[in-house]
Structure 1
Amino acid sequence: MPGVRAEGGYAVVPTQIIYPGEEVADHLLELVEVTNPNIAGGYAQSKSQVVGMVSKRTLLPGRTIPLSSVREPFAVKRGSSLRLTFTLGTMTISAAGSPLTDASVGDVIKVRNLDSGAIVSGTVMADGTVQVMAK
């Protein structure tokens, strides 16, 4: 393909400082050609790899974005209100709960049942609920 360097390719770099905890937005990024043959791998090569993610550390303008320096946004926030569900066979029980930590989808967290005050463990689901584990 003309115009594409086989050994270099492209890298995504910020156009301004992105601070830890800040969401990486498309307008803060640009795609640049990699001209350094000795650059370490593991950096974002397309905007789709980092847009919508949250920075885990300060990202500087003009520097590559290591994929290890971004994470998925939290699905649940500490202290918020959410729905706890417990399923056993065809029976499902649900209750109001409040997570004790921020968490992403798939994380196992502790949640306080707002009705009983009991603290239970469960898995964060994609819909923002927590599936409680049987003891």
Structure 2
Amino acid sequence: MKGFFIFLFLLAPALANARGFSIEAIKINLEREIEKKLDVNNITLSQLVIKRDGSGKIFTLEQVENAKIADLLEISKLEIANNKFISTVSEISGKYNISVTGKIARSIKIPVLSENISKETEITQDLIELVDIPERTLRGTTITGIKDLLGTVAARNISKKNQISFTDIKKPTIVKKNDVVQAIYQVKNMEIKTLAVAQQEGGLNDVITLRNYDSGKMFEGRVNSEGRVTVNFEEKEIVLK
């Protein structure tokens, strides 16, 4: 059973004085044992809810991050069934025990931005990092591969750490709207050129609408380099007129 998982779990003390644990130590030990049991890698634990000292008071991870670190911990019980797990974490001496239960959700690794960027910013390798998110939160248009981001530019302002959709990016603009470009029709050894006005912007290999500079007739062409657009056979008569 290969894959990535995020665990959402609830910690409750089995004994009143379970102060010998740090949350980080518990996380590390549980991650190791669950990875072994499920034969997975890179699992993460999130959304911790901790109850300590029998008071029922809820502590956030930040509030307990300075708790005393237990040097020796062991997982004395770990059962997994139907995407749920039940476990008991103990000090090796058996002095303290903490019951840990929770749910298992499959996660997926996606590329996100490490910082906020503005529209038209080129997305380079140093701006990209990989994060794990619950698979159920993945949007249908979200980009999941780094190669789909590299060499593109932001179509709008994009916030860091957020899922990036294909509508958030675009190819770098080569031809801008209202640019006067060369429209070229090529066949064998013949090349016909005329001037045209771009009716929309376009990146490399984008098909854009153009207006013949002299006749005003509209046609389509494919952007192949800055200021140059190739025209297909069906449009050649418009280019020539």
For residue 88 of structure 2, what is the aligned residue in structure 1? none
Q: 1:47 aligns with which of 133, 146, 149?
A: 146
For residue 119 of structure 1, what is the aligned residue in structure 2? 216
Deviation string, structure 1 residues 47-75 (Cα, Å, up to 9, x no partner)? 11111112222211111212232122234
Overall identity of the aligned pairs, in %: 13
Letter in 1 for 2:184: T
Q: Which aligned pairs between 1:1-135 and structure 2 lie closer than 5 A?
A: 2-3=40-41, 7-34=106-133, 36-41=134-139, 42-87=141-186, 91-104=190-203, 105-113=205-213, 117-120=214-217, 121-127=219-225, 128-131=228-231, 133=235, 134-135=237-238
Higher relative contact order (CA 8 A, sep 6+): 1
Gaps of 5+ in 1: none
Q: Structure 1-normalised TM-score?
A: 0.73
Return the index of the structure with the highest Cα Rg.
2
> Taking structure 1 as reference, are residues 89 and 23 closer, same or farther at Cα in structure 2, changes over 3 Å only?
same
**Kept after mapping to 2: 8 A contact 1:110/1:119:** no
What's the Cα RMSD here?
2.9
Letter in 2 for 1:60: S
For 1:112 and 1:22, locate their aligned partners in 2 and report how far apart those are by CA, in whole Å: 32
Letter in 2 for 1:123: G
Letter in 1 for 2:231: Q
For 1:37 and 1:9, locate their aligned partners in 2 and report how far apart those are by CA, in whole Å: 5
Gaps of 5+ in 2: 3-39, 44-104
Once the two structures are TM-superposed, the CA of residue 97 in structure 1 deviates from its matched residue by: 4.0
Task: Out of 55-64 and 119-128, give the one that drifted further.
Answer: 119-128
Once the two structures are TM-superposed, the CA of residue 37 in structure 1 deviates from its matched residue by: 4.1
Task: Out of 92-101 and 38-47, give the one that drifted further.
Answer: 92-101
Task: Out of 89-98 and 11-20, give the one that drifted further.
Answer: 89-98
**Kept after mapping to 2: 8 A contact 1:80/1:99:** yes
Letter in 2 for 1:61: K
For 1:75 and 1:124, locate their aligned partners in 2 and report how far apart those are by CA, in whole Å: 11
For 2:167 and 2:144, locate their aligned partners in 1 and report how far apart those are by CA, in whole Å: 13
Task: Name the structure where strand makes up a greater proportion of residues.
Answer: 2
> Taking structure 1 as reference, are residues 112 and 22 closer, same or farther at Cα in structure 2, changes over 3 Å only?
farther
Task: Name the structure where helix makes up a greater proportion of residues.
Answer: 2
